Amino acid sequence: MTINVAVLLAVIVFFRLRRRAHSRSRFDEKMTVVIVLALGVLLAPTPVGEGILNILGQLASGVTQASR
């Protein structure tokens, strides 16, 4: 059985972010940031990452045009 590292990190991020904010220490918050950055680096070159980038680009373009 193989586990995709990006999926594993996504699950870890999901469970870490479900916890209440006041119960997190500074170290815990920094660790969450590091894990999310690692997840971003793993997703960026994949088709899923490129799709997310495309959607966010279209959204940003729409917001920019709507503000004119």
Domain positions in the chain: 5-66
pLDDT of residue 7: 82
Q: What is the helix, strand, coil percentage profile of the chain, to 5?
A: 80, 0, 20
Single pTM value for the model: 0.59
User: How far is 43 from 5, CA to CA, in rounded Å?
Assistant: 10
Mean of pLDDT over the chain = 82
Encode pLDDT of 41-57 as tens digits.
887 888 888 888 888 88
